Structure 1
Amino acid sequence: MDLEKLVEQGINSLLFTAPVLGPDLERFLEQQGQALRKLAQQAVEEKVTHIYWVGSGNSQINLLSGKYLLDKFSDIPSDCFTSYEFVWSNPKRLSEKSWVFLASFSGATEDTVVALRHARAKNAKTIVLVNKADSLMGKEADVVFAYESKALYILPLAAAYLFALELARLQGNTEVEPIIRDLDKVPNLLKRQYLEEKEPAKNLAEQFKKETIFYTLGSGVLYGLAYKFGLTVFMENMRVHGSFMNAVEFRHGPAEMLDRAKPSFVILQGNDESRMVVARVIDLLRSQEVPLIVYDMAKYPDIHPLLAPFALMIPLQWFAVYSAFMRGITDLDERVLMGRGIMGKGNGITWP
């Protein structure tokens, strides 16, 4: 198997976003950053009473940070829902004074199209993050941010960050200013990582190529990235058994599995308030001699700790790409069930 030839072919796949993350994030912030700032100003001026973040799979998780940041730095309440749960729970607060952010790469995800229409029926303002403006959701929403890139995690994530942080800044919270400044540093970091993280990831993938179960743990601002890789990358793209857990919850029951089983663990360790408790989980796993990978935000001291999901994305993706190749999955975009009309229903629906 010629791994380097597969990497060359994989550069053009939709899964392998690392090659474009730095340049496309730089372009996105330059072209759409001001519009996101103006949207935040509008939210403050209109006295929005509640903000909802809605999506499915990866597209929900890249919005989760919006809620985290609004909760931490602003006084506007918000919630993050999977798309159908948003419809089924039918929040009482959902009204013309609510804003609903919805993300879908295709703009035609069944669950999220239904959620968009539900929000519109309640007269809420709808803002969509999609790849193409002329997608189904792009045509139906009040506000469209079309990012024109396969970077379906990082660019919507950046939109959620910039909107939430700018809103908090406009409310007078100066704590967010260094985070906003450091966000502009991230594109160059991603460009460097694409080159520097390749060989370390290849070595890790070789070391773990026979492992069949991966538990991915993260907390705080890294909760979403851990979920993304634990479920929507490792299981979807490497075709292995896997799961995600909040790292601080591992001590509350799941740790007892180590008496009988030693699966592989991937730990995302932040450099924020969660660090010390997650460190205790890492120490526990090392004491049990389980197969363990730790991605540590402390490696990037020049980037604000709350930007950890951006900083740890490419090392994880390189590992997933090489792991897929070493398991005989040579077409990174091929799916067995998804995108084939098997699991999605509705006119114009293409996913899942």
Structure 2
Amino acid sequence: MVVNEHVQRVLDAVKEREIERVFFVACGGSSSLMYSSKYILDREAQTITSDLYSSNEFIHRNPRTLNEKSLVILCSLRGNTPETVEAAKFARSKGAITASMTNLTDSPLAQSSEYVIPYPWGGEVKAEESNYAVLYQLVFGVLAVKEGNKKLDSILRTLPHLDSVYAKAKQQFAPTAQKFAVDFKDESVIYTMASGANYGIAYMFAICFLMEMQWKNSHAIHAGEFFHGPFEILDKESPFILFLGLDETRPLEERALKFLRQYGEKLLIIDAKDYDFTGVEEDVKGYVAPLVLNQVIRQFAAELAKETKHPLETRRYMWKVAY
């Protein structure tokens, strides 16, 4: 597999510029998909630092390090999130390279950005063409062209195998998803927890699937912060979902798991060690784990929506009132 042509255009530009900082900028679900890429840069980059911002705060905080030595990666599915569109314009005004991921190439975000990386959405999308796939190619590509990092090759060899990995994981967890929906359908609050590369999935499931799409109270707890306040909420009636990954922060999740099992009962544990990673290169498994989890957890949301008879498309305010 070769690098996506739109990603390659960004990499060609990056190659010609001194890049000291990468900013990931988006809102909601688009923001959540960037957490694992931020983790990748934290772990792999030797000379490049990175930050992840909600679009509107990115503008108002106005980081002093945002300049012509910056790469700003933005994302909005339809490309019409006003805050993200303005963030792209703001980044360009500072001289940064702007690369925006979107499903619609004629969207306001696309028109406001220097480079556009389109990705398909809806229906049957190949894993190697997904938003996660193009973002990983971009991040590992930056590491390759600026620092000679070799893991881009591992990712390119891995991506064609992900559809098979996803299919097996979804089949494996289907019965668990159905049981979760029955057991948790009447809960008014459900907490999620993870760390490291997986934290973005915990965040996404809490704010998007549970709060936005199911109108259930939720909070994404970082496993490293669990013992610094949130664990006081735990009792045998408190529902928790814990995701265990394969990256270097797994010990934080394992510590939380031990405590959850000691004092809680309403638990859903999803462990990346249970996935069949056939075809995934060993040196990127920890980074790929959240991509698999992203597919698995959507089953849980779909099954929950069936049991609650509250379709995932139902909204009270979003796209309906001025905000």
Give the TM-score, by structure 1 length.
Answer: 0.82
2:16 aligns with: 45
The residue aligned with 2:79 is 107
Deviates more, 1:43-52 or 1:56-65: 43-52
Give the Cα separation in 1 of the matches to 2:302 and 2:308. Answer: 10
Question: 1:1-352 residue pairs with structure 2 within 5 A?
Answer: 33-74=4-45, 75-150=47-122, 155-170=130-145, 171-174=147-150, 177-258=153-234, 262-300=237-275, 302=277, 303=280, 304-329=285-310, 331-343=311-323
Alpha carbons 1:267, 1:293 under 8 Å: kept = yes
Question: Deviations along 1:65-101, whole A, 9 cap, x unmatched?
Answer: 2222122112212211000110011111222232211
User: What RMSD over aligned residues (CA atoms) do the two structures have, in Å?
Assistant: 2.2
Distance 1:110 1:341 in 2: 15
Q: Does the CA-based 8 Å contact 2:25-2:74 persist in structure 1?
A: yes
SS in 1 for 2:243: strand
Structure 1 stretches of 4+ with a deviation exceeding 6 A read none
Q: Which has the higher contact order (CA 8 A, sep 6+)?
A: 1
Shift, 1:161, TM fit: 1.4
Structure 1 counterpart SS, 2:33: helix
Query: Cα gap change, 1:135/1:48 in structure 2, threshold over 3 Å: closer, same or farther?
Result: same
Q: Distance in 2 between the 1:196 and 1:149 partners?
A: 24
The SS at the match of 1:251 is helix
Structure 2 residues without counterparts, runs of 5 or longer: none
Amino acid at match of 1:335: R
For residues 267 and 168 of structure 1, do their structure 2 counterparts lie closer, same or farther at Cα, with a shift above 3 Å needed?
Answer: same
- Deviation track 1:291-341 (CA, whole Å, cap 9, x = no partner) reads 000110101252412211111122211111111121121x32121100124
User: 1:125·1:142 contact (CA, 8 Å) conserved in 2?
Assistant: yes
What is the deviation of 1:187? 2.2
Residue type of the alignment partner of 1:103: C
Point out the more displaced range, 161-170 or 80-89: 161-170
Specify the SS of the correspondent of 1:271. Answer: coil
1:22-60 CA-partner distances (Å, limit 9, x unpaired): xxxxxxx87x62432453353133222222110011111
User: How far apart in 2 are the matches of 1:338 and 1:42?
Assistant: 37
CA distance in 2, matches of 1:35, 1:108: 20
CA distance in 2, matches of 1:121, 1:37: 23
Report deviation, 1:137: 1.1
SS at match of 1:197: helix
Indicate conservation of the 8 Å contact 2:37/2:135, yes or no: yes
**What are structure 1's unaligned runs of at least 5 residues?**
1-28, 344-352
The letter for the 1-side match of 2:138 is: F
Q: Give the total of aligned pairs.
A: 311
CA distance in 2, matches of 1:289, 1:73: 36
